[in-house]
Chain A
């Protein structure tokens, strides 16, 4: 039986760094959708997420020689995208004030889509009024379904601090959504 193994991230990164630029497409295909949901929930729309992921992939290429652990390209790329999302939200707050949440569900049956859009819309609008740190811990925990330990590893923050952020996020969301505490 013949088996074709995908090259590891480290193999691809080293190939790009030694001049095989086209190999970077492997990383683009591998990661363009992996964090799309995170970015869209952090930024409030799929369009904004697409811009952020595109910018982050190009920025990662520019900084590839600085990737200290090529086998952990995924974690390194996530941090670049995370910084991009945080910077976008800071810029939005300065320039636009209160944001309008956009529909972020994939196309499907019209009725179900509208119903879900309304549901996600209220949560998304509320999420956008949290601090970026509170929103991130909520998204990583409940949308990406990571454990607190996994979140701590990914963002470099202690579990206790993450739980405190989550606690405050719940309080704020209850207030914003009119739910009793």
Chain B
């Protein structure tokens, strides 16, 4: 390592002292857990967690996808607007689940997957298939009615928000896309 990046000797003593362990108040745990219990008991919070928790096991999604092959009818044609723009399309197939088609135009990608709150952010659970030579990738998944966050995973490492969907801050500098699914007429809110 370069000597320029060594700690200046004049700071050594102060840094040694700054390394002393810091303990927070023992009451912090009780305060945090009180807040957590209030949130857990809140109807709004329970509804939000039900909507966002990765509750569906992979086999359930596969079964839903198989059913979708029989019942799948798009409400509108899957058209891609401008290059690089994706848009989830949806159709209602039951009172509580909607089949949503996700599209991403990524001409240089070798593989693309869909990861979100509905599959535990598993980048292997919902791979997109390349639909044409222009680099249009699509996948259809069954989503419970409600709001879901998601992102595309390009080449297994790059997390890309959907450029055509609203986005929210994920809490540490990246964006997640949001899709709100309603059973009414199979429309995306």
Contact = CB atoms under 8 A, between A and B. Distances in A.
A66 interface: yes
A58 interface: yes
A65 B54 contact: yes
A36 B52 contact: no
Interface stretch (B27-35, B64-72, B135-143): B27-35
Contacts, number: 136
A41 B35 CA distance: 26
24 contacts: A18-B55, A21-B37, A32-B24, A36-B23, A50-B25, A50-B28, A53-B24, A54-B28, A58-B35, A58-B39, A61-B39, A62-B39, A66-B121, A80-B171, A116-B17, A120-B14, A122-B14, A142-B15, A143-B15, A143-B18, A163-B5, A167-B4, A174-B8, A179-B8
Given A61-B39, A66-B121, A106 B53 contact: no
A68 B176 CA distance: 12
A40 B53 contact: no
B4 A59 contact: no
B14 A65 contact: no
B172 A33 contact: no
B56 to A, nearest CB: 13
Interface of B: 4-5, 7-8, 10-11, 13-15, 17-25, 28-29, 31-33, 35-37, 39-40, 45, 49, 52-55, 115, 117, 121, 149, 170-173, 176
Interface residues of A, number: 56
A68 B21 contact: no
A29 interface: yes
B24 to A, nearest CB: 5
A32 B23 CA distance: 8
A51 B170 CA distance: 21
Contacts of B28: 28, 32, 50, 53-54
Given A105-B17, A167-B4, A66 B32 contact: no
10 interchain residue pairs of minimum CB distance:
A68-B121, A79-B172, A123-B14, A65-B52, A37-B22, A21-B40, A36-B22, A57-B32, A179-B10, A50-B24
Given A32-B29, A68-B121, A83 B172 contact: yes
Contact of A170 (B8, B32, B40, B172): B8
B29 A66 contact: no
Nearest to B9: A179
B174 to A, nearest CB: 9
Nearest to B26: A32
B10 A177 contact: yes
A46 interface: yes
A104 B117 CA distance: 40
B36 A61 contact: yes
B54 to A, nearest CB: 7
Contacts of A174: 8, 10
Given A17-B53, A143-B18, 19 more contacts: A22-B33, A24-B36, A28-B33, A32-B32, A33-B24, A37-B21, A37-B22, A53-B24, A57-B32, A58-B36, A65-B52, A65-B54, A65-B117, A116-B17, A123-B17, A143-B15, A166-B5, A167-B5, A174-B8
